[in-house]
Chains A and B, each alone.
Chain A
Amino acid sequence: MNNLFYIILKKDFKDNLLSNKAWFTISFFLLCLIIFPLAFGSSQYLELNVSISAIWISTLFANLIALDHMYKEDYNDGTLLYYIVNKVPLVIVVYAKCLSHWLFSGLPIILIAPLCSYIFSGYSENNLNLFISLILATPIFTLIGSPIAALMLGSSLRGAALTFITLPFYLPIIIFGVMGTNINNSNINAEFYLLLAILSIGIIFFPMITVKILKSIIN
């Protein structure tokens, strides 16, 4: 079972690295981030609130962009059908897909975001909070996105519709994440506990739904 997981994960890694998708997400994040200082039109430091919101918005859109080809290629070239025919448990496939999506669209952002925040605003006091809330929030983005990405398989207008349908479900995570990042907040740990609770429910719940959806859509 573990072996199977590593094989599928390795295949995903290869696909991502060979087709340049791995660099696309992080470059999109940086590009999206550049817009904010330019849109404010000043060459000075941004305010702390603005830099936090800039990082969260860019994270959100980078995740959404990467979400579109989470299952698309495997569905189009028949790999998912092959898995089902050969009785590979879809749970393993879904967890491997989620992990590889997070490794390519969540982890680089988590590592680079505190540096970006420092460069943009000149503050470094809230970097630990930003780091922790991003660590908790990006896996939730991936987990919420995975059933919705599976739903849109085989539709005619996927990119735009996927973004529109997924965004409302991301809003609560954004609200709690930004509240957790704000250093002036007195009861700061409450948001982290809440995000952690959502993550620990979601890590079981969302892959389960995704497996159901993939099974019923491919049959």
Chain B
Amino acid sequence: MLRKLHKYANPNKFSLIIMPIKNVCLYTALPLIAIGLIIGLFFSPPDYQQGETVRIMYIHVSSAWISLFAYVLIFLLSVFYLIWKFPLFVLMAKEIPFVAIIFTLITLITGSLWGKPTWGTYWVWDARLTSFLILLFIYLGLIFIDKAFKYNVNGDLSFSYLSIIGAINIPIIKFSVDWWNTLHQPASVIRASGPSINIEMLIPLMIMSTGVLLLFFYLIFTNIQSAIAEKKILFLSSKD
């Protein structure tokens, strides 16, 4: 089965294949985000405790999921690169941090705006918040390690090993609300005993996070295409 996939590991073919997928992603993501925002902001019920401020959740939670998912994606691509040595994998993995860092920032900023009315402060040194801030710095570190190896082939290896070391942080972020007594509320959607969230809030949240996921894929595919083109130009200009 893996052999059948080998032909798609050619960067040229890959960039041709993702061209239509990319457009599909964009043109489904934008309506989904619009519908999710409209339902979330106008039609979903307010929370009995937090009131109208709960509507920040539709942006905050979906971008938080994406920024965790992005790291898992980087981790898997790096492991695949170290096992099968296809350069395309690390080429894809290297483009993700630029996009993921924006979603991490959105999560932190909306979270602190949500924290002011509900907790009374913009920021506390809580386990969930601190580990998420560390995630931001790990993304920055991944970008720096990519830039630090301009004239050396070891950059790909270093990038993948660093992303594997940094993956320790992901379970810590996910379970920090269960392991420590935190101000941040515990998970209410992805948990062992099923979602505890009201169905009227769950539907716009799901629509919204699907839309954001597709938007994330669109941004990554665009980045990968430009990275492949950049590699081509570098290769051509080094030939003379």
Contact = CB atoms under 8 A, between A and B. Distances in A.
Contacts of B147: 157
Given A151-B162, A161-B144, A171-B130, A216 B157 contact: yes
Contacts of B172: 172
Nearest to B138: A168
B134 A168 contact: yes
Interface string B154-176: 11011001101110000010000
A164 B144 contact: yes
A167 interface: yes
Instruction: Report the interface size class on chain A.
Output: 20 to 34
B145 A151 contact: yes
Contacts of A7: none
Interface in A160-219: 161, 164-165, 167-169, 171-172, 175, 209, 212-213, 216-217
Interface in B182-235: none
Nearest to A212: B161
A212 B152 CA distance: 19
Given A151-B162, A165-B141, A156 B154 contact: no
Nearest to B157: A216
Interface string B129-140: 010001001101
Nearest to A175: B130
A148 B165 contact: yes
A155 interface: yes
Nearest to B148: A155
Interface in B81-100: none
A89 B116 CA distance: 56
A213 B145 CA distance: 15
Q: Which residue, A148, A167, A168, A209, has most C-beta atoms of chain B within 10 A?
A: A168
Contacts of A78: none
Nearest to A213: B161
Interface of B: 130, 134, 137-138, 140-141, 144-145, 147-152, 154-155, 157-158, 161-162, 164-166, 172
Give the top 7 A-B pairs by smallest Cβ distance, nearest first. A165-B141, A155-B148, A168-B137, A151-B158, A161-B148, A168-B134, A154-B152
14 contacts: A151-B158, A151-B161, A152-B158, A154-B152, A154-B154, A155-B148, A161-B145, A161-B148, A164-B140, A165-B144, A165-B145, A171-B134, A172-B172, A213-B161
